[in-house]
Amino acid sequence: MLQHTDTALPSQGMTLDQAVLALHGITKTFPGVKALSEVSLSLYPGQVTALIGENGAGKSTVVKILTGIYQPNGGDILVDGHPTPFPTPQAAADNGVTAIHQETVLFDELSVGENIFLGHAPRGAFGLIDRKKTTQMARTLLDSIGANLDPDLKLKDLGIANKHLVAIARALSIEARVVIMDEPTAALSHKEIEELYELVESLKAQGKAILFISHKFDEIFRIADNFTVFRDGQLIGDGAISDVTEAELVKMMVGRDVSQIFPKRTPNVGAPVLSVSGYAHPTEFEDINFTLRKGEILGFYGLVGAGRSEFMQSLFGITRPSAGSVEIDGTAVDIKSPADAVDNGIVYVPEDRGKQGAILDLPIFQNVTLPSLGRISNKGFLKLAEEFKLAREYTERLDLRAASLDTHVGNLSGGNQQKVVIAKWLATQPKVIILDEPTKGVDIGSKAAVHEFMAELAAQGLAVIMVSSEIPEVLGMSDRVIVMREGRIVAELADADLQPETLVRHAAGI
């Protein structure tokens, strides 16, 4: 039955007809793009299948087909071996398929319980929602996933990690046989990731089939039983995880050997560009002092909530500090808005690409030129030819993959969206570039490209600040690392002190 040749049998003697849910020969086209080309995928009860692929490989499309959001142009969805179309998300849910998305839509003004049971809340008299029962059922469900949350709290009062738990509870609130997890650990800290693994184990024990989408190989090897690799919308290989090595998976994913080694650089550190002293905010951070030099990559490490992003956004003029001063090239500057920051040569690549980094409904070229309109216009009048020229120059430097410069940024993969954001800032010819989690949600191929590019920028004399929670990235890229904890700088490390244990110790305060 299997169409492709390089297929190994799934682990533990499972055969295709034992799959709870399978895709068979699925094709999906969008105008001008073939997103999926006759792909197959099988999910087995009590097993975790890792779906691996670069951004744009078709993983999200598969998730949307499995959850009834997209309709395939060809091929079958098999539930217990029987062809079953999923014409609506409801049909997918009725067949026991549920998904925990990268960005689940939750409602800030509703309570935790209401969020979990939205759309299928328990009903009482006259068909009205039974609040008491909602709370009680929510508590049971939250307990079962080890989340100690009050179901009556409003969602907006929760932190990001707890919101994620609510999203998981919401996904499990239907009678699920198949659970899809789309990069579930992307926003979580170490401890929370461990808790998530435990949850995955308990779901396995309950006999649920799990589709696990992730960019992180360590977690794939830790929790997955099977793997399926996609590349450019095609099935490249699948089988038992115990039969492959990381290097083999990477090769299948990118179609070539990729060294996961960080670019070698000889830092050529010059004069101080940015110096910050006594910088403080009433609630988020205090007493920040450091100097950034030309050609340097300065890493900012810390746990989620250490105040790194808040500090960077303040430096970029989003929020006003309560005290402190900033000097650029030895001159004191007062940055009241992002526009001031850009004028002074400080630019910021935010973590939240969709909301802050890019304007998804505008074309690529308009995104790239947005902060540089003054350079492509004459007395305020736009010169379209120059606009395209500028956009082309910087997107090509970053090796952007897109159908045209007129494509809306929202239609690009995460890695390419990030390239647009970086291109936008480079076009302003900044002195200092702040990258906030630059490779979060970016596939391994693009990740290496972003790292290469950072190294290149530093070599050209740009001063780079990199906020990252990934220890290999921090250690691999930074010349110097500042560790923040609870809004304060707790350590500044260089050379021999740059050890994983040292970073973690300072970040956790032990």
Partner 1 sequence: MSTTDRLIPDRLRSPMEQRLKSWETLLLLVAIGIFVANSFASPYFLNAWNLSDATFNFTEKAMIAFAMALLIISGEIDLSVASIIALASTAMGAAVQIGVGTPGLVLIGLSVGLLCGAFNGVLVTRMGLPSIVVTIGTMSLFRGISYIVLGDQAFRGYPESFSWFGQGYVWWVISFEFVLFAIIAVIYGVLLHKTNFGRSVYAIGNNATGAMFSGIRVQRVKFILFLLTGLMSGVAAICLTARLGSTRPSIATGWELEVVTMVVLGGVSILGGSGTIVGVVIAAFVMGLVTFGLGLLNVPGIVMSIVIGALLIGVIALPRLWSMWRAR
Contact residues for partner 1 (CB under 8 A)?
A: 32, 232, 256, 316, 318, 337-339, 341-343, 348, 350, 355-362, 365-367, 370-371, 373-374, 377, 380-382, 388, 392, 395-396, 400-407, 424, 428
Nearest Cα residue to 486 out of 284, 279, 280: 284
CB nearer to partner 1: give 350 or 438. Answer: 350
∠ Cα 288 294 298 (to 5°): 45
Q: How far is the CB of 317 from partner 1 (least distance, A)?
A: 9
CB nearer to partner 1: give 258 or 508. Answer: 258
Residue 8 carries which DSSP code? P
Tokens 């990740």 sit on residue:
447
Residue 7 carries which DSSP code? B
CB nearer to partner 1: give 376 or 503. Answer: 376
CA dihedral 94, 99, 104, 107 (to 10 degrees): 30
CB nearer to partner 1: give 119 or 380. Answer: 380
Q: How far is the CB of 374 from partner 1 (least distance, A)?
A: 7
Q: How far is the CB of 341 from partner 1 (least distance, A)?
A: 7
Q: Is 427 exposed, middle or buried (0-12, 13-18, 19+ CB in 10 A)?
A: buried
Q: How far is the CB of 333 from partner 1 (least distance, A)?
A: 15
Q: How far is the CB of 34 from partner 1 (least distance, A)?
A: 10
Q: How far is the CB of 402 from partner 1 (least distance, A)?
A: 6
Could you tell me if 119 and 130 are in contact, meaning their C-beta atoms sit under 8 angstroms apart?
no
Q: Write the CB contacts of 164 (distance below 8 Å, at least 6 apart in sequence).
A: 184, 187, 188, 192
Q: Which amino acid is residue 365, in one-letter code? A: F
CB nearer to partner 1: give 193 or 359. Answer: 359
Q: How far is the CB of 58 from partner 1 (least distance, A)?
A: 12
3-state secondary structure 101-156: CCCCCCCCCCEHHHHHCCCCCCECHHHCECHHHHHHHHHHHHHHCCCCCCCCCEHH
Give the Å distances, CA to CA, from 385 to 281, 372, 376, 392: 44, 14, 9, 11
What's the length of the chain?
A: 510
CB nearer to partner 1: give 162 or 369. Answer: 369
